Structure 1
């Protein structure tokens, strides 16, 4: 889906699209690199705002030092016309090397400039930013990237903790006791059985390939298959804690009463009902929802779970603080001895407990709003700044598809990292990362933070104690760069290299000291469709969650499948090639393409009639291989469009293909995801591999071939053909296109060619 790693820093489209930040503020990038060298900016934030596009030839050499994969030429940065439409989509900083390079350099330089300020002035500045984020004009002083880490001075942090403690003491109506053994928070995080942890750790150290016990359960409506996995240990927590329930309800969980949950047992969606029990029991979950419309209800659920987890963690700490204070008073009065000191282990190395990865600021804004609502807190600090930097009313063109508008309406900036801190009465945005409870971030923004080389070596340690890890819109993250997610996983739950002076080891849970996070951390992964990368997040390499794992697999009916959406009769030919091992699939697919598809493309190339063949390639590595083969070893008259094509090439090749100058077009899935171009002149289609999303299959055929029929490029639809290449290893992709019931026949039937019409 995403491009290969060596092209990480290229951008997926031309230069003509303007980037939107914050409250619909447009940024321009001109040739002012040399202007900045003459006059040093007073502050890093001002410098960030003044970054402009540098001269093309001057910048390449400098950028190569930090980005080895920086393009050798300016091919991807030319400007051009758009033949009547603007490129739309998420314009990633990651795919714009100059912009990402400058942003990272400013972050590093910012730390150097601030060395000149006194500690006193630094503290005063931090206090103003934290206490009042709504000071008139304050928004102008904030970086538009929004990943700065504000250092909160110790005095303000201690003051907040004291206020929390006083609030707890005064409000000792204090909700129901959380320390019941039936509470998942209690038996999973607060007091897990050490014998089980030790036993399982020993088994894993002896045999890393331990097989988990699997169960399969179909939902009542047959829309999903739930595949549950429980840890292979003799002393299981209990069957009740390991079993999968697909009809969960809130009553059985000790939800904090001060929360405003936007759903209840009488008003719960089907998607929420399926995963509620697994989520609140701290199981790992991979859940592909049926439609983007279901996403809001999923966010309601995991946001409620995250806030509930934070409240229980904070309340436990405050209660134990009160117990220790009572003990110390008794000790001073001679009413207690040293032996009576309670052992209260309720903390970890750092405060952040929940990490939520999101693709865009608009998605972050939606989740942030839900957390505000669910928290039940009336005071929200820095809310105005949050709205200014994360909300936008920008809209993509109306003619784009509904799912495209859902993904890219609003602020599509994908470079951010935001801390959220909870006290008894206040929710604070833009808290320092190591003082935050929840962190909302894009993989690109968080990776930039982790890579910063600052004097403070603790900059990576704020992820050391993450207990709930959420990946939202995982499919969008794959189109950006899944390598960033993998990078972040390597930094989750690593033991800190340095400890803060006020860290009380007597309060740290033993499983944290023993580095047993991987047996307890919960991973929640959500997307529109499941992929191997999503499933791997809860695989044994990344997670060994003792409470279990649940993967949901969608069942596609014929009507829901890709071919079920085609409203006119069209020859759709599925060509199966043999491949014994999945590792051999790329070579087997390429050989089949050369033998069986290239002759068809040569016929298209020599055909004098109007229209040509579109070859759709989901994987960029396959695209490069096919492109080079057609260019150097065949006489096929073709053009190629990908996410790194310059705007001038996009214009030239689309126009040339529509006019018959080129008879074959190579077209990548990532380009389609980010732009949904209208390709004119398509008469036949070849799918080198099944599309990742069934929507893309129907879009290509309905829009491209439908347009050709209207323009008389296709005079007889019976003469057009769609060819789909697949192997038995494509079963998960294939079921989205033909429906779940047809997959066994296509993958294991006696025939190698199956035709639908």
Structure 2
């Protein structure tokens, strides 16, 4: 069954409500797609398993395994010790005592923190469990590529497709330093992603994902050959444990189909495969025609980069690799890599009590990559947390698993301590920090990478305006919402009403805060209009017109709407930031729009900018005012600070 392309009106094209799991319209729209892409397709289920077995037999019979089958065992063991893949995912039974000790240390949160600066990575915080890696980042010579243990065929294709400007190097500086960490199988949280380095990052994690898949396959095929020879000779052989419960080893979470298509194009190039089965079907489903592309080219560059192409946020696809081919739409339990949106996987995982749900295919994930994490935060972050909570669990069914070859740490339920998690985001948030603290528990350590912020307040071009930042005191995160609301309705709002101000935009990052303020304004018959991510197009147009013409004094405006639509809002004379945006550039973007709207305002009316913040807004505040000033605003004796 072929899934239809999505006809998208790019000027107002993102229906955020579609990301809501409870939206019945979405469930109906994708009910058939769930069966097709989740791996439950009847056509695939029986025949696919048979082809899978035949494919394995064919590879084994041909004996085309990297590394001679006649290699001396001792030499192979020596080579394995040099490979971080073998050190991390090899036979942990030999190091069971060390593994147990590290797991205990993780559970007791006995991380040792090392902070250092790197010219390419910027500010690095490294968390380790012993003295390994105390010196910080490795400064290995880029010419010493063999130390990375990249599979030879993959390395050759990498040299051809990864273009480094004005250099004979095969890695950019950023790719080189990041890949060294990826290759050690440490967890990495990188929060310096932007539109300039996004493709650098996508190429390097695609290389890492393929290198991992090829090493997993090569190890299993080598061991198959050992077992076959031993059985043929009638000899006993030591226990071999080289597998997980299920085949999928890499999970990549992305926000939209356009990102999935971009990644798939890179995987095709890097794999160097002769055949890509179902490729046309994939590109038809994940791309759009030029006629469907209606994005407004006047939008900001970051918006164009995020929303060009197919922005359907409901997808999942399995990709299977063999020596000479890759297959799109592989049944999940026969796939090596799963690429999906959080919503796409959530629809399969379901919730407790659902009749049809499946998450066993996540039981043996060894590398999970979350790209464009900041965009996922603008969708439904609950889906991301739900996926992580269902990863690396003991499967409910056997799925034809050979338990005699399952690694001990899978059987012991400790796979999550060896899983590598890589998160790439434009910025850091409390939600991402929580994921880092709770779900990134790698026995080989983890690292958090960020940079020094100059502050987007420097990008404000409007002259002679006073930007007033007011700190509200609160000692409990559970109380901050109530304290912020109380301060707003008792201090900020009465003051603006007393001054008879109009054309006042109230910027609200949280939809829950938006609903709370909207209800308050309605109950107190205050002249206002509102725009949120759930407002339909006609109501948005009406609200913008009322606000521009001054028929409504206040405009309640959410961050998610601005992210997904990015309208140039006219008629703004005053802005109240109920809380600062996660996207720091929205601060300067909205203030700069005042310049074009202030020409028709009353000359006696001064522009006012008010910002409410607390110590719990540190990350947002740092991105706006800069790393050098955030400490003073949070810890200074004064509660009110003015920028002009």
Alignment TM-score, normalising by the size of structure 2: 0.89
Structure 1 residue 88, shift from structure 2 partner: 3.4
Selected match of 1:749 from 636, 641, 644:
636
Verify the 8 A CA contact 1:92 1:413 in the aligned structure 2. Answer: no
C-alpha distance after superposition, 1:386-440 (max 9, x if no partner): 1111122424111211111111110001111100101111111110000000000
Query: 1:172 and 1:213, CA in 2 relative to 1: closer, same or farther beyond 3 A?
Result: closer
Structure 1 residue 247, shift from structure 2 partner: 4.4
Verify the 8 A CA contact 2:456 2:587 in the aligned structure 1. Answer: yes
**Aligned equivalents of 2:285 and 2:186: distance in 1?**
34
Tell me the residue number matched to 1:65: none
**Aligned equivalents of 1:514 and 1:422: distance in 2?**
28
1:462 paired with 2:351, answer no
Structure 1 residue 91, shift from structure 2 partner: 5.5
Selected match of 2:80 from 177, 180, 200:
180
Selected match of 2:403 from 490, 505, 509:
505
C-alpha distance after superposition, 1:433-469 (max 9, x if no partner): 0000000001111111223999998932111100001
- How many residue pairs were aligned? 618
1:590 paired with 2:590, answer no
Query: 1:589 and 1:108, CA in 2 relative to 1: closer, same or farther beyond 3 A?
Result: closer
1:228 paired with 2:126, answer yes
Selected match of 2:456 from 558, 562, 569:
562
Tell me the residue number matched to 2:100: 198
Query: 1:105 and 1:200, CA in 2 relative to 1: closer, same or farther beyond 3 A?
Result: same
C-alpha distance after superposition, 1:217-265 (max 9, x if no partner): 12237x732111113xxxx4x615x764164654421010111224488
**Aligned equivalents of 2:444 and 2:388: distance in 1?**
20
**Aligned equivalents of 2:208 and 2:66: distance in 1?**
23
**Aligned equivalents of 2:132 and 2:529: distance in 1?**
59
Tell me the residue number matched to 1:613: 504
C-alpha distance after superposition, 1:103-154 (max 9, x if no partner): 355468999xx99xxxxxx6xx44xxxxxxxxxxxxxxxxxxxxxxx55443
Tell me the residue number matched to 2:627: 740
Task: Flag structure 2 segments of 5+ consecutive residues without an equivalent.
Answer: none
Query: 1:423 and 1:599, CA in 2 relative to 1: closer, same or farther beyond 3 A?
Result: same
SS of corresponding position for 2:404: helix
Alignment TM-score, normalising by the size of structure 1: 0.76
1:573 paired with 2:468, answer yes
Tell me the residue number matched to 1:299: 202
**Aligned equivalents of 2:478 and 2:389: distance in 1?**
25
Verify the 8 A CA contact 1:377 1:425 in the aligned structure 2. Answer: yes
Tell me the residue number matched to 1:713: 601
1:643 paired with 2:533, answer yes
Task: Flag structure 1 segments of 5+ consecutive residues without an equivalent.
Answer: 1-20, 28-81, 116-121, 127-149
Verify the 8 A CA contact 2:103 2:443 in the aligned structure 1. Answer: no
Selected match of 1:272 from 157, 162, 175:
175
Verify the 8 A CA contact 2:189 2:423 in the aligned structure 1. Answer: yes
C-alpha RMSD over aligned residues: 3.0
Tell me the residue number matched to 1:118: none
1:89 paired with 2:14, answer yes
SS of corresponding position for 2:127: strand
SS of corresponding position for 1:755: strand
Tell me the residue number matched to 1:352: 248
Question: How do 1:510-525 and structure 2 match up within 5 A?
Answer: 510-525=408-423
Tell me the residue number matched to 1:218: 117
**Aligned equivalents of 1:672 and 1:751: distance in 2?**
32
Verify the 8 A CA contact 1:640 1:666 in the aligned structure 2. Answer: yes
SS of corresponding position for 2:197: helix
Tell me the residue number matched to 1:245: 137
Question: How do 1:135-534 and structure 2 match up within 5 A?
Answer: 151-169=46-64, 179-192=79-92, 193-202=95-104, 208-220=107-119, 224-231=122-129, 236=130, 239-240=132-133, 244-245=136-137, 247=139, 249=142, 250-259=145-154, 260-261=157-158, 262-263=161-162, 266-331=169-234, 336=235, 340-392=236-288, 393=290, 394-451=293-350, 459-501=358-400, 503-534=401-432
**Aligned equivalents of 2:526 and 2:478: distance in 1?**
29
